[in-house]
Amino acid sequence: MRRILVVLLLVVASAAALAAPRPVLVLGDSLSAAHNIPVEAGWVHLLEVRLREMKAPRPVINASVSGATTADGMSRLPTLLKEHRPALVILELGANDGLRGLSLAEIRANLEAMIRACRAARVEVLLVGIELPVNYGPQYRDGLRALYRDLAAQHRLPLVPFLLDGVALKPELMQDDGLHPTAAGEPAVLDNVWQALAPRMARLR
């Protein structure tokens, strides 16, 4: 009798796990890891709060790591997909590649590999673009900007063209390094993401 009860409990637990809403996974760098500000002030936590308050709440997993490159993300993604079974991945990587002046072809190949891995796992992708400081020169900056736009068009993905749009050029919303938002700038960062994410939420399984 005890054995039957254990089996029944396992079946119920498995059914509950399958019925639970699959999370949104954020795979990013310091721009998504609440660099030098309280975690609760970061845009990813603000997103989690917003989704928690919706009619159909959905959890958020923040797998962002400060300093991460697209190569780092590519190496970590298979385990993250298997462990968390997300409904959607918000892919915010490339800033550190760009700051190091890495090959645009390499950045594109890594991002595309991650997109394909998500698609193979039946996981939707929201692609987040970044912009580099002007001292990196127009050719490289324009190439990086176009890279995100082209990948989004090729794979029919929703795109946030520039995560820090409306924030990066406002000193009062940026930290002293000129690269990361202050806590006061994070709600605007979330708004940039939400514009592309909101239309997708109703379609997630």
- Select which of 14, 29, 30, 97 is catalytic: 30
C-alpha closest to that of 179 among 95, 92, 102: 95
Q: Quote the CA–CA distance of 192 and 108 in Å, as a whole number.
A: 22
* Annotated catalytic residue, options 29, 32, 97, 180: 180
* SS3 label, residue 92: strand
Element (H, E) at 159: strand 159-160
Is 180 marked active-site? yes
Give the closest residue to 104 by CA, choosing from 132, 135, 67.
132
- Which residues on neighbouring strands pair with residue 174, listed in sequence order? 181
Dist. CA 123–CA 119, nearest whole Å = 5
For residue 128, give the H/E element and its range.
Answer: strand 124-128
Total residue count of the chain as it appears in this document: 205
DSSP 55-68: SS---EEE---TT-
User: Can 177 be counted among the known catalytic residues?
Assistant: yes
Q: What residues are annotated to the active site?
A: 30, 177, 180
